[in-house]
Amino acid sequence: MKHVNYLPLLISCILVIMFVMSVDLVFARAFNNDFETGDLTDWEEKTGDAFDFQPTWGDNPTARNRGQPSEHQGDWWLGLAEKYQGPDKGAKLGQKPGDLATNAAGAVAPDAPQGTLTSIEFKIIGETMNFLMGGGNRPWENPNPCCVNLVINGKVERTMTGSNTETMTRREWDVSDLKNKMAKLVVVDNHTGGWGHPNFDDVHQANAAGENIPWDRVLVVQAKGKLAVSWAQMKKYY
């Protein structure tokens, strides 16, 4: 029987695998732009404790008769004064609609938690970016800001605050001069006084006609073959 030498084939396979693993596998996918995964998927850099109970579920300001409806999109949003994580997780943790954030001692203190939340990197391909914004009017220039920043290479290129109301409204940045650059969004909550929290939801890029661009056309991830790190990512992207 003729002996077959599989060694060259084996070596070729190993070389191909090593080459593939050395290349950034680039693929397009959606982005958790509206927190509808019910967690912080795609918002993977977190500091402090302000985002420990985020995103929040439902119109919590109305649940406590605040008189300022959140006007969020979908079910989930970032409300940094809130401490209600929905009818499943929230109920298991003893939370109820309208619950507010607490301090280290467990006392109600909606503006006490502080921290930042940073998105994964994405390419700017639109003319504008729009999103829902509410909460406090504490600008980035403030020593203790509450805002959302667009950051490129560590520099804040755009920033936005709320208007001292829990109700979010649609805001917009002109980003036409930033096209083809890689950016991140950073939600900042660094104030403990009155209106010391931001509200944020439903971010999009839009074309010159003002039409939102689907995130699966925007986002390019340098994956290096990594699997999704959460079940939410598995459900949403695979």
Residue 208 CB neighbours (<10 A):
9
Give me the pLDDT at residue 8, please. Answer: 59
Q: What is the average per-residue pLDDT within 120-137?
A: 97
Distance, CA of 33 to CA of 77 (rounded, Å): 10
In this predicted structure, the answer to whether residue 62 has a pLDDT above a threshold of 50 is: yes
**26: which residues sit within 8 A by CB, 6+ positions away?**
220, 221, 222, 223
Is the pTM higher than 0.75? The answer reads yes
Could you tell me the CA-to-CA distances from 169 to 7, 43, 69, 152, 188 in Å, in that order? 65, 22, 11, 25, 18
Who wins on pLDDT, 130 or 12?
A: 130
Distance, CA of 121 to CA of 222 (rounded, Å): 9
In this predicted structure, the answer to whether residue 217 has a pLDDT above a threshold of 50 is: yes
Give me the pLDDT at residue 141, please. Answer: 96
In this predicted structure, the answer to whether residue 230 has a pLDDT above a threshold of 60 is: no
Distance, CA of 179 to CA of 166 (rounded, Å): 32
Q: Do 232 and 39 form a contact (C-beta atoms < 8 A)?
A: yes
Give me the pLDDT at residue 85, please. Answer: 97
In this predicted structure, the answer to whether residue 16 has a pLDDT above a threshold of 90 is: no
Max mean pLDDT range (11-25, 41-55, 222-236): 41-55
Q: Do 215 and 86 form a contact (C-beta atoms < 8 A)?
A: no
Give me the pLDDT at residue 228, please. Answer: 41
Distance, CA of 21 to CA of 224 (rounded, Å): 7
Buried b (16+ CB within 10 A) or exposed e, 22-47: eeeeeeebbbbbbbbbbbbbbbeebe
Which amino acid, residue 155?
K
Distance, CA of 166 to CA of 228 (rounded, Å): 33
Computed over every residue of the chain, the mean pLDDT equals 86
> Would you say the C-alpha torsion 72, 162, 113, 31 has a positive or negative sign?
positive
